[in-house]
Amino acid sequence: MSDLSGELIDNRYQLIRQVATGGMASVYEALDTRLDRKVAVKIMHAHLAQDEAYVNRFIREAKAAAALSHPNIVAVQDQGWNQNGAPAVFLVMELIDGSTLREYLNERGRFTVKDAINYLTPILSALAAAHSIGIVHRDIKPENILISREGRVKIADFGLARGEIIGSTMTAESSIILGSVSYLSPEQVQRGVADSRSDVYAVGIIAFELLTGQKPFVGETPIQIAYMHVNQDIPSLRSVRKEIPEALDELIRRATSRDPDLRPRDAATFLTELEVIASNLDPKQNQLKLNLDLPVEAIREKPRTKPEPTAISEPSIEISESTKEVRRSAEKKRRASKRVRRNRKIAVFLAVALGVGGWYALVGPGSRIVVPSTVGGSYQEAISVLTPLGLTNIVVEKRFDEEIPLGTIIESSPPGGGRIDPTATVTLVISKGLERYIFPTLTGLTPEAAAKAIAKYPLSVGTTSQMYSDVIPKGFVITSQPKSGVKVKRDTAVNLIISKGPETIPLASYVGKSGEQALNELTDAGFEVVSNYKFSESILAGAVVSQMPVGDIDAPKNSTVTLVISKGSQYVFIPNVFSLDEASAIKALKDLELKVNVKKLGAKKVKKTTNISPKVGSKVKRGSTVTITVG
């Protein structure tokens, strides 16, 4: 687009200089001559202004931003079409004198934790305001985040925004193309859908970039980067920068989860969790916050270890008793004999109980091993726990599960806490992850063949509908929902779209009618028209001599109709050009598509026709040579 600096837009906005340009529009610093203030005017490129979809997107950008009133969102003040001067579709916004967050990143590299949180807070605050009224930005990236010279953070470019109050701005496919691939959520890449959690994902990527100074994924092409976002988890912040607080690392990990359900549900939730972390890092930062207190984790008691028995060597003591003492001892033994007999019985009972207990523990049922709980761990973790206990007979079963991740133990038999013989079998049920099936290609099959192909999977045939197709013959499958190559759940209903063949429309006969009429009516009806011309002795010039296909039939829409249009008779009659000057005679003959040969006699300056051959009234073919004599 040419530079429009100096133009007066809408008789109001004087364009001063071009400050930025992109694939869709250019931005100018301008003067609002009515209010005498500086503004930013965004003008769509002229070649895009002819595309209704782009114009609608441009207008909805204005509606999206105008629907929001927030100090961290660039305000849109006007929108319109320039009626005078250069044709232009334009938006008028507040002028932000500053830089983009991308420029700050390029200059500073990575940020401190405190600075990163200070930048993320207004971004999330602005998005929270948008999400609260159902508007999703869908194109959050450092290039769309402006920082004024006063330090105010502003979000711009709601061109891809969507929401109930403004409608959707583009198709899913175009939003994927227009969005910046490094910040697109996996669901935008895979399914072309986006909600508030998609914006949360983009902010999470920005947070990663602020804290590490680099993007999580780098590839040679955009499609490689998009593939990484879909198939790989974002690296941990602490794997790149050790001093990142664990709570912040965990929050960003959840915000950039490939599963939207694991992310904070919107920017407000994300902001609340971030503020808790910020308050925990610096409690003095905002004493007025009511959410400073964090839940206190229970203190785990340290395992107590039994002290090792200490060997004590008893000294040898020599005892000497007198006769009196011996008698006293004998009398004491006699008095204690009843107690001794009772104690002996108790000792015998305890010995028997001890023997039974020993048999139970060493030989009997008590010798069984208590199976530890392995649920939630991996197979290798289970082996490392079971093998030292002597449990080596382990059987693995695998089962699909919608909630338990791939490779994680779902249950065991016997369950944790159960007793088992050392030689018995422990069965581990391990998750196979999500049960998904790659949907087959059904295009070009008959409905019966498609149903057989679907029956090979745990899927069902849903509804069938019909639509016209110029490519797929009538009665065959055009496509299906879901489409081929997509991973689907068990029992998914597959809807088939069957071809009705090409759409046909009535084709009238235009033989003998005006060629112009035929061309206009056939084009309006949806046909492609090819016109050829020929001489005709029976059809007037400009009328249709013949057409193919012939008329009065139903022909496929967008098919080609060939018209042969009359050039009139191939013959003409020699006109009377006697006494006409040379130039007039030549013109009269050439108008009849005749060639003229001139013979000149005499020395007169103005020569007139004195003879003509063939003679006047002769019937000759167009293109024949006529000789005139002038003198």
609's tokens: 């026709």
Residue with tokens 């250069």: 86
266's tokens: 């919107």
d(CA 538, CA 496): 54
Determine contact, residues 579/541, Cβ cutoff 8 Å.
no
DSSP H or E segment with residue 582: helix 582-591
| Structural domain count of the chain | 6
Q: 115 in a domain, yes or no?
A: yes
On the question of pLDDT at 439 being above 90, the answer is no
Q: What does the pLDDT read at residue 288?
A: 40
- When comparing pLDDT for 174 and 482, which is higher? 482
Q: Which of 285, 301, 334 is the last residue of a domain?
A: 285
**DSSP per residue, 480-544:** EESPTT-EEETTPEEEEEEE--S-EEEE---TTSBHHHHHHHHHHHT-EEEEEEE--SSS-TTBE
Q: What does the pLDDT read at residue 263?
A: 95
DSSP H or E segment with residue 192: none
Burial category of 579 from C-beta neighbours within 10 Å (exposed 0-12, middle 13-18, buried 19 and up): exposed
Same domain? 224 vs 265: yes
Determine contact, residues 44/88, Cβ cutoff 8 Å.
yes
Q: 296 in a domain, yes or no?
A: no
Same domain? 192 vs 267: yes
On the question of pLDDT at 313 being above 50, the answer is no
Q: What does the pLDDT read at residue 575?
A: 93
Domain with 404, as residue range(s), is 369-431
Mean pLDDT of 268-293: 73
Determine contact, residues 483/442, Cβ cutoff 8 Å.
no
Is 581 assigned a catalytic role? no
On the question of pLDDT at 300 being above 50, the answer is no
Give 136's strand partners: 162
313 DSSP assignment? P
Backbone angles phi, psi at 427, to 5 degrees: -100, 125
d(CA 477, CA 467): 10
pLDDT per residue as tens digits for the range 187-240:
887 777 788 999 999 999 999 999 999 999 988 777 788 878 888 999 999 999
pLDDT-derived band at 15 (thresholds 50, 70, 90) equals very high
Tell me the average pLDDT of the chain. 81
Same domain? 126 vs 208: yes
Same domain? 102 vs 208: yes
Q: Which of 566, 589, 618 is the last residue of a domain?
A: 566
Q: What does the pLDDT read at residue 312?
A: 32
Q: 189 in a domain, yes or no?
A: yes
In 3D, which of 373, 376, 488 has the Cα closest to residue 430?
Answer: 376
DSSP H or E segment with residue 156: none
Give 609's strand partners: 630
Q: What does the pLDDT read at residue 169?
A: 37
d(CA 212, CA 206): 10
pLDDT per residue as tens digits for the range 555-567:
888 889 999 999 8
Q: What does the pLDDT read at residue 266?
A: 94
CATH of the domain at 484: 3.30.10.20
pLDDT-derived band at 115 (thresholds 50, 70, 90) equals very high
pTM: 0.46
On the question of pLDDT at 491 being above 60, the answer is yes
Q: What does the pLDDT read at residue 264?
A: 95
Q: What does the pLDDT read at residue 385?
A: 78
Q: What does the pLDDT read at residue 261?
A: 92
Same domain? 548 vs 575: no
> 3, 32, 97, 139: which is the annotated catalytic residue?
139
- When comparing pLDDT for 23 and 185, which is higher? 185
Backbone angles phi, psi at 54, to 5 degrees: -70, -40
Q: Which of 409, 431, 453 is the last residue of a domain?
A: 431
Determine contact, residues 510/551, Cβ cutoff 8 Å.
yes
Q: What does the pLDDT read at residue 320?
A: 36
Q: 509 in a domain, yes or no?
A: yes
Q: What does the pLDDT read at residue 128?
A: 94
